Amino acid sequence: MAMTNDNGSLYTNIQQSIATLEFSHSASNSLPINLLDRLTKELHKLSENKAVTTIVLKSEGELAFCAGASFDELIAVTTIAEGTVFFSGFANLINAMRTCKKIIIGRVQGKTVGGGLGIIAACDYVFATEAAAIKLSEISIGIAPFVIAPALERKMGVAALSELSLAPDGWQNAYWAKEKGLFSRVFETTADMDTALQIFTEKTATYNLEALTAWKKVLWNNTAHWQTLLPERAAITGQLTLSSFTKNALSKYKK
């Protein structure tokens, strides 16, 4: 399967036991396979790093937080195996976040679509701005958010997931997302969010890491089956990607 020329970037900065993990991509911080894999591996490393107590997950810039999957790579899928590999990137990342021994704090500065919502839902606590509108667009291109659905359902419930997924062309604002449990706190400006985020993470960095790790396991209770469920969902989505409906829908986005 053809890969995009731009695999994006990933930076990790650790200060006073707080690890800031920042990803970037020129296409509205979308996530090609390579970048998803790098994020997953970095989270596994940080999980075992005894010098880290808290992880902040963010994206670069002031606009979109994450545009979801790479459309260029999705369009390039030609076999079920390629489709399964493509969507397994999100499955692996969400499972890495779920099993990470450190609390993961999401920083969401702007709009998020599709797979990016799964990443937000897999965070343990989420700061967002008023600009952080959300949308699930998968149904409109002939697939569905199978892989990320368990994470979203865990945070928002089936009713909110249904409302969001069955209106693929509509945006929901940040306060709707907070009301449904996806966001923990919402701020008017990025500056206000970052001030509160700094205060919050400085506090979590002082907590007993052993207690936080044990408590995270409790918060993620009854999700161990995701280790097989999410890859299975990736295979379902990969097969749907080859449907004539999806291929016709994706053809509109070809460069």
Is the pTM above the cut of 0.85? yes
Q: What is the pLDDT of residues 121-167, one digit of tens each?
A: 999 999 999 999 999 999 999 999 999 999 999 999 999 999 999 99
**For residues 241 and 95, what is the distance between their CA atoms, to the nearest angstrom?**
22
- For strands 18-24 and 9-15, give the pairing: antiparallel
Element (H, E) at 107: strand 103-108
Residue 161 contacts residue 152 (beta carbons within 8 Å):
yes
**For residues 90 and 94, what is the distance between their CA atoms, to the nearest angstrom?**
6
Which superfamily is assigned to 9-251 in CATH? Answer: 2-enoyl-CoA Hydratase; Chain A, domain 1 (3.90.226.10)
In the structure encoding, which two tokens stand for residue 162, read together? Answer: 């249904």
* pLDDT over 80 at 255, yes or no: no
Q: What is the pLDDT of residues 40-97, one digit of tens each?
A: 999 999 999 999 999 999 999 999 999 998 888 988 899 999 999 999 999 999 999 9
Q: Which residue type does 60 have?
A: E
* pLDDT over 50 at 15, yes or no: yes
How many beta carbons lie within 10 A of that of residue 140, not counting itself? 12
- 15: which residues sit within 8 A by CB, 6+ positions away? none
